[in-house]
Amino acid sequence: MSVLAINGGEKTIPAGLLKNWPPISATDKKMVLASLGDDKHAWGPHCDALQEEWKRWNGNRYCWTTNSGTAALHMAVAASGASAGDEIITPAYSWTSSVSCILHHGCVPVFADIDFATANIDPSKIEAAVSERTRAILAVHLHGLPARMDAIMDIAGRHNLAVIEDCCQAHGAKYRGRKVGAWGDCAAFSFNQNKCLCSGEGGIFVTDDEEMAASAGQLWSFGETRTPLQNRDYHAYALGWMYRNNDLTAAFGRAQLTKLDGYLETQRKNAAILLKELKSVRGLILPTEPKGHGHNWYNFTCRMDMKALGWNGSPARLRDAMMKAMNAEGVPAHTWQRYILPAMTVFRAKNAYGHGCPWSCPYTKDVQYDPAAFPVAQKHCDTHFGMTMPLRAPNDTKVAKAVAHGIRKVFENVGKLDVDKILAPK
Ligand SMILES: Cc1ncc(COP(=O)(O)O)c(C=O)c1O
């Protein structure tokens, strides 16, 4: 077993051991078929029911179910009261939607570096990013680990800023005992295929504030003030999009919601096994769950300690080669993001809406994006790898143990990897 699979040895994880996500049961089939048997395929009773059930599950007063988490984030930016040219502070490392939602509303993203231990926005970097134009902080609970909401709320309170939570990866995660999405002024969740609650695609906007709910609702449905089940007047009171969910997807989401607590428990158990089995593997930095943070274990994100691995070259090269070696063992490791956000072309070229908009808008103050200003995000980006499948139901602790063996084998045999050969273009 000590010969790496990438060097011709035996693969650690046999084909077929890892099962696909999400598990589909009779409940899913019954509810989706019930929707199909009805005649409301756009907005329908399952959409309304999903909203009511999510409000109860997450503890929010208002919500709108959407066709994506990205749509819900855009609604959150609008609901925050931000106007064209206003600045919104967001972490330098996240999914692109955590920042494109800011551009979609004509606002200007200002990045703050992350904290290496948690990979979330570093509260100590936020204050330096605040200007007279800052309107909101958009915090991301990355990979299911809550951001430090007490520190973020404190800064927001002192500068009179709204707080938007990107909970797209963080269903059920808790900070100091309170679920995410119930800390800030408003929040967005995703129900995309890979998320802890999967309805194919989809999402939900949540808030406890009536005015924010109304503002988000206008953006959600053509700028109108009435929902599709109300007596619509088809009048655009504000600029709107078409971000509504549909009945089939909502039916699938409702079925998955009945199983979400059980899924989260499986994720916790599998993560505990991975943490135990991988403790003290040389060169491997394991994910943490600091006191007061309730991880939902959406993703098991590790980093590589290049020095401990005896590597002086480009960190991303060794990471990529080791990941290929892990994949050859059957470990479903992946790189989550290859670029930090300020290094992406849309910010370097400022090419969002043409003519340099929104950065060239008369209400905007010039903002520069220098990727070198975010060294922690860059280090995380270059050295990380993540996994979702080994955490997810129906995969159990036996699977998690096998995955841990595959990872340990690669780290213990790192000296036997021919990095140039592994990464040579085929
Ligand atoms: C942190 C984060 N924010 C936002 C999104 C966007 O969600 P969706 O794909 O549902 O639009 C994602 C999805 O991958 C995400 O991971």
pLDDT of the residue at 248: 98
94 Cα to the center of ligand 1, angstroms: 9
Taking all residues of the chain, what is their mean pLDDT, rounded to a whole number? 97
> Ligand 1: which of 73, 95, 197 to mutate, judged by most atoms within 8 Å of the beta carbon?
95
Is the pLDDT at 5 greater than 70? The verdict is yes
| Collapsed DSSP state (helix, strand, coil) of residue 259 | coil
Q: How confident is the model over 321-354, as pLDDT tens digits?
A: 999 999 999 999 999 999 999 999 999 999 999 9
pLDDT of 144 above 80? yes
Residues 6+ apart with CB under 8 A from 78: 105, 215, 216, 218, 219
Residue 99 pLDDT greater than 70, yes or no: yes
Q: Which of 350, 355, 351 is nearest to 367 (CA)?
A: 350
Nearest atom in ligand 1 to the alpha carbon of residue 190 is 10
Per cent of the chain over pLDDT 90 is 98
The structure's pTM equals 0.98
- pLDDT the model gives residue 277: 98
Residue from 70, 121, 141, 204 to probe ligand 1 pocket by mutation (most atoms less than 8 Å from CB):
70
**171 residue type, one letter:** H
The tokens describing 242, both together, are 């078409």
Question: Beta-strand (E) ranges in 301-408?
Answer: 302-304, 384-385
- Joined together, the tokens standing for residue 269 give 């158990």
Peptide bond preceding 358: is omega within 30 degrees of 0, i.e. cis? yes
Q: What angle do CA 62, 67, 69 make, to 5 degrees?
A: 70
Q: Residue 95: helix, strand or coil by DSSP?
A: coil
Q: Looking at residue 196, what DSSP letter applies?
A: S
What separation in Å is there between the alpha carbon of 196 and the centre of ligand 1?
12
Instruction: Tell which one of 140, 141, 168, 194 to mutate to probe ligand 1, the residue whose CB is within 8 A of the most ligand atoms.
Output: 168
Q: With residue 319 as reference, give the H or E element that holds it.
A: helix 315-328
Q: Do β-strands 284-285 and 302-304 pair in parallel, antiparallel, or remain unpaired?
A: antiparallel
Angle at 270 between CA 275 and CA 283, to 5 degrees: 25
Condensed to tens digits (0 to 9), the pLDDT of residues 197-243 reads 999 999 999 999 999 999 999 999 999 999 998 999 999 999 999 99
Nearest atom in ligand 1 to 140's CA: 1
Mind listing the pLDDT tens digit for each residue in 249-300? 999 999 999 999 999 999 999 999 999 999 999 999 999 999 999 999 999 9
Least confident of 58-62, 158-162, 228-232, 370-374: 228-232
Nearest CA to ligand 1 atom 7: 69
Residue environment code for 321-335, b if the CB has 16+ CB neighbours within 10 A, otherwise e: bbbbbbbbbbbebee
| pLDDT band (50, 70, 90) for residue 23 | very high
Token code pair at residue 281: 């593997």
Integer Cα distance of 92 and 162 in angstroms? 19
Q: Please tell me the distance between residue 95's alpha carbon and the centre of ligand 1 in angstroms.
A: 6
Residues 214, 257: Cα–Cα separation, whole Å: 25
User: How open is the CA angle 2-386-76, to the nearest 5 degrees?
Assistant: 175
- Give the mean pLDDT of 102-125: 98
Residue 316 confidence class, pLDDT cut points 50, 70, 90? very high
Alpha helices by DSSP H, listed for 175-246, are 210-220
Predicted confidence at residue 1, as pLDDT, reads 58
Distance, CA 410 to ligand 1 centroid (Å)? 31
**pLDDT tens, position by position, 37-69:** 999 999 999 999 999 999 999 999 999 999 999
Largest CA distance in the chain: 70
Q: What does the block give as tokens for 127? A: 């204050």
Q: Please tell me the distance from the alpha carbon of residue 94 to that of residue 374, in angstroms, as a whole number.
A: 13
**Would you state the pLDDT for residue 426?**
85
With 70 as the cut, is the pLDDT of residue 87 above it?
A: yes
The ligand 1 site (C-beta within 6 Å) comprises 68-70, 73, 94-95, 97-98, 140, 166, 168-169, 190, 192, 203
Cα separation of 115 and 112, whole Å?
10
Ligand 1 mutation target, pool 97, 138, 245, most atoms within 8 A of CB: 97
